[in-house]
Amino acid sequence: MREWLVAADDDGERLDRFLAARAAVSRAAARRAIEEGAVRVDGRRARKGQPLRAGERVTVEGPLEDAASLAPAPEPDAPLAVLLADDVVVALDKPPGVPTHPLRAGERGTLAGALVARFPECAAVGADPREAGFAHRLDVETSGVILAARTQAAWDALRRAFREGRVEKRYLALVAGEVAAPGGIDRPLAHDPRDRRRVIAVADPTEAARLGARPSVTRWEPLAAAAGLTLLRASISTGRMHQVRAHLAAAGHPLVGDALYGGPPALDSAPGHFLHAERIVAPHPSGGTLDATAPLPASRAAALARLGLDVPPTPAAPDPIRRAGRACGTG
């Protein structure tokens, strides 16, 4: 966390100009941090052109660097599990504990570094050099399916499908408590003004508007229960930051291993929060449907077995990519 006090000489200055000057970065980097919600003025989310007042405090959570310096370096020796690939799209199986892309200049060990080593064209795709073609993100500890585009047109199409709620994402989640019946929560999510690392489900419409909460719906069904824990299958068509984690916590069933949202301790043999992106069904950028599935990592499957919980089968689509009657498999 970095913080600056607005002096009398800076009264009336635009936030993006102030931040660029104080942090010694470009205005583009400052604007990007503001747009991503990493910048607060007196604890409240701010606009890039917002005029500042003397005495206000400007805070930034996380790195504040120009995007070009964050572009992932190819890591040809890093493992990369390709679920399927064609000429415009790649679906990967992300392991738990691996960041999707760099957050600091020179950071290694990211999925993006492994991706651009095998599919170098992905490095030029997206709105930000660090994205390396990824059309969405998974948290570091979340495993499973993640999509990347090999062309800018495909990335634009996938991002549009995500924004419009036309992508179905399904997860396996191990949660605290016994869940006896299917359920769900329809509650907008906003950044927690007291802790930038978290999001909160906001029930009051006035408060939701004040915090800039975004509509979010999560549905779930119980699959098995043992030892005071339940294995759920959760589904979302929106994709907010920490959506499944925050909604399950708001429903009183935080993820096992999710200390940020009040979950019980992680399992010894499966560290981190227990969340797996099992399946994604999306419109294919070239027409038809893309359907990608990822098996539960062996360590997590073994942890469930030790608890006496059966790992449910993951049904796969007959053709991973259905396009004018033609299927395309792994690349």
- Please, is 265 exposed, middle or buried when counting C-beta atoms within 10 Å of its C-beta (0-12, 13-18, 19+)? exposed
Distance CA 124, CA 65 (A): 19
- Show which residues are catalytic: 139
Nearest Cα to Cα of residue 47 among 3, 7, 23, 17: 17
Say what angle helices 15-23 and 27-35 make with each other, to 10 degrees: 120
Nearest Cα to Cα of residue 327 among 83, 257, 167, 318: 318
List the structure tokens of 323: 């396009």
Which residue spans within 227-327 are E strands per DSSP?
229-236, 275-283, 289-293, 321-322
Distance CA 189, CA 199 (A): 6
List the structure tokens of 2: 């970095």
Amino acid (one-letter) located at 287: G
Nearest Cα to Cα of residue 17 among 27, 7, 4: 27
List the structure tokens of 292: 């990608």
